[in-house]
Amino acid sequence: MGKKPTVVVAGYGTWAKAEKNPAAQISAQLKSQSNKFCDLICLEIPVESRSLSTLLEASLMKYRPDAWVGLGVSTNSGVIRPEMVGINWRHFNVPDISGSLLELIPVVESGPVAYQSDLPNANMVERLKSAGIPSVISFHAGTHLCNQMLYTVRHLVETHRLHTRSGFIHVPQTPQNVTSVDDPEAMGSSMSLSLMTQAISLCIEEIVADLTPPVTQAA
């Protein structure tokens, strides 16, 4: 049996719209579980724009994973959303944890306009839907740090010529976060932490399957 692939799951931590960010909670849940499909490395990433590239580069060079899965919360969506494209813009309507409110700033100066995820997003969505978990392909990761991670990791992979597949998945709020909102009109959709953790675990299975060459029968 060959070496199991290494998969990094990097979930964003606390910020203005999610003091208890489900992305970090999912990463922590996965870290506490055994995974027979891969060597799983689970990270919590601060929601801080200016230091993000340095942190991501250090993590990529340390672990040199076969796949990188970023996780972040989408506060206005009730489904799991694998993102297809990261664009070269930072344009924040909510500050990061350092208070930075960036407007019309490239992620990478003179970088490409966009990068496309090379995770098996369509397969992941179909796997989740087959398991009864709402999921859709998304073509816009926004212009906040979720998009920044998607773009930055792909750029670093290309720059360092790493053999790493990478992408980003948006997850909904937890019911606990939604019910803590004081204004009933501001309450949005949610999904339980256990179901979201199951969803990301299934996505990891699809990623590993996509990384693993099919076994051919000897004649």
3-state helix, strand, coil in the chain (%, to 5): 35, 20, 45
Distance CA 74, CA 168 (A): 12
pLDDT digits (tens, 9 = 90+) for 28-62: 999 988 888 899 999 999 999 999 999 999 999 99
pLDDT, one tens digit per residue, over 146-194 is 999 999 999 999 999 999 999 999 999 999 999 887 666 666 789 999 9
Judging by beta carbons within 10 Å of its beta carbon (0-12, 13-18, 19+), is residue 108 exposed, middle or buried?
A: middle
| Domains along the chain with CATH numbers | 6-211 (3.40.630.20)
Q: pTM of the predicted model, to two decimals?
A: 0.94
- Supply 123's token pair: 């397969």
Write phi, then psi, for 62 (nearest 5 degrees).
-70, -50
Residue-wise pLDDT for 126-146, tens only, equals 999 999 999 999 999 999 999
Whether the CB-CB separation of 177 and 193 falls below 8 Å is answered with no
Q: Which strand (E) or helix (H) includes residue 159? A: helix 145-160
